[in-house]
Structure 1
């Protein structure tokens, strides 16, 4: 009999829900390479301020973006560790191999992170 699989189903579902929305995907694509202020994101995407703020809040709650305040402006960028975690989960579900100990852009291995960090599927054979 196979041993249980180590997963954070709630955290994984929250991240998948956050990513599975066309407006949020558009935002993530706009901020994937470098941080942008809300006004810059609004200009790049054409998403009006009230809706943009709501979508950014959902991305923050799912820990998919990192924020930095500079005076009155808040800059957003994609949290690449979280995105790699999402990739790890999808790779595992697809049955493709991944290295659970590969180094993240932050320099941390995949096995470290907060409770919100995307679940890694680890079979214990």
Structure 2
């Protein structure tokens, strides 16, 4: 199934700890210590969650001296977001007959743009 990678990426984002990591990385590249400080997620949990995000292709790494910096893979995140096309374009205003949608996808969209 061609959608399986997108589903795995969405599952990765859906976890509260991983979502907070993605949220922290939306502010820019960070090393593990900076992510730990921003999220409050300690070791080894942080490393495990970063491994899941790497496997899903949502984060990239680069080495600078002894530190590894993580960043959002914006191309991959955009592809995953585009897989949610069935949600349609964000509305500029709410109609009285339309129920309010969850803000989860909208928050993810804001992170990758």
TM-score, scaled to structure 1:
0.67
Q: What's the Cα RMSD here?
A: 1.3
1:93 aligned onto 2:70: no
Match of 1:21 in 2: 15
2:107 maps to which residue? none
Aligned: 1:46 with 2:40: yes
Structure 1 distance, partners of 2:70, 2:22, is 9
In structure 2, how many angstroms separate the alpha carbons of the residues matched to 1:29 and 1:86? Answer: 16
Offset of residue 10 of structure 1: 1.6
Distance 1:13 1:86 in 2: 8
- Mapped to 1, the partners of 2:40 and 2:5 lie a distance apart of 30
Which stretches of structure 1, 4 residues or more, deviate above 2 A after TM superposition?
A: none
Supply the distance in 2 between the matched residues of 1:71 and 1:49 (Cα, whole angstroms): 21
Q: TM-score, normalised by structure 2?
A: 0.73
2:4 to 3, 10, 15: 10
- By percentage of residues, which structure has more helix? 2
Q: Which has the higher contact order (CA 8 A, sep 6+)?
A: 1
Unpaired stretches in structure 1, ≥5 consecutive residues? 1-6, 98-125
